[in-house]
A and B are shown apart, each in its own frame.
Chain A
């Protein structure tokens, strides 16, 4: 009887060890793969974001360069933001505005042809 109890205890201990090992193995196998997939998703998202940012920055720079080029001409037209968007004029139509920007340059000298 004593022998049976001892065997039960040994077997129970062994079962616990094995289940612990199984849990460890499962976790070590699943966790890295989960991390891996997560990091892959993150890196691809990061790359896409980076490219999108670079593209948008490049576009902004081009727009700024074009704006500077136009400013040299001295007179530029633009559509101003209407702070009162719903405003209506006397004829019942929505208000429309046109902005004119005047530039002057001081000390403008030609430094090469």
Chain B
């Protein structure tokens, strides 16, 4: 049994169309996908064969949305870490800025790994903190930021 919370769903409304080359197909009519997810490119890549690409199109979009959800969850957890004063993100939740009493860290969230730069309040680079944050053997990102305090 699973316990969790459904987030707000995203919708794509497709309109049935007919193409002389590929026959029956669908075109994007309306959608609520965030603008930073390249829905048109995904559509062009997956639906060029017509209706047969519908499953791939949906799965590809879903992967992007799951990644976004995971990044948002990381930010939500970072905000609760003791010692973190502020967490700022961009719209796509890829660049995360963590402000603490001792340093400011800019972390780029990637699919597999993160990159980060940490600078203290005297503009000196804190490589020791960076190493802790980037050391994936010490747990997930939130745990590593917590350890770097």
Q: Which residues of A contact B26 (CB under 8 A)?
A: 98
Stretch at the interface among B10-18, B87-95, B117-125: B10-18
Contact A106 B69 (CB under 8 A): yes
B148 within 8 A of A: no
Count contacts on A: residues with CB < 8 A to the other chain: 25
Contact A102 B2 (CB under 8 A): no
Chain B residues touching A, range: 20 to 34
**B26-62 toward A: CB 8 Å interface, digit per residue (1/0)?**
1001000000000000000000000000000011011
Query: Nearest residue in B to A76 (C-beta to C-beta)?
Result: B9
Contact A104 B69 (CB under 8 A): yes
A111 within 8 A of B: yes
- Determine the distance from Cα of A74 to Cα of B1 in the docked complex, in whole angstroms: 16
Q: Which residues of B contact A85 (CB under 8 A)?
A: none
A1 within 8 A of B: no
Q: Which residues in window 80-108 of A have CB below 8 A to B?
A: 80, 89, 91, 95-108
A44 within 8 A of B: no
Residues of chain B touching chain A, judged by Cβ–Cβ distance below 8 Å, are 1-7, 9-18, 26, 29, 58-59, 61-62, 65-66, 68-69, 72-73, 76
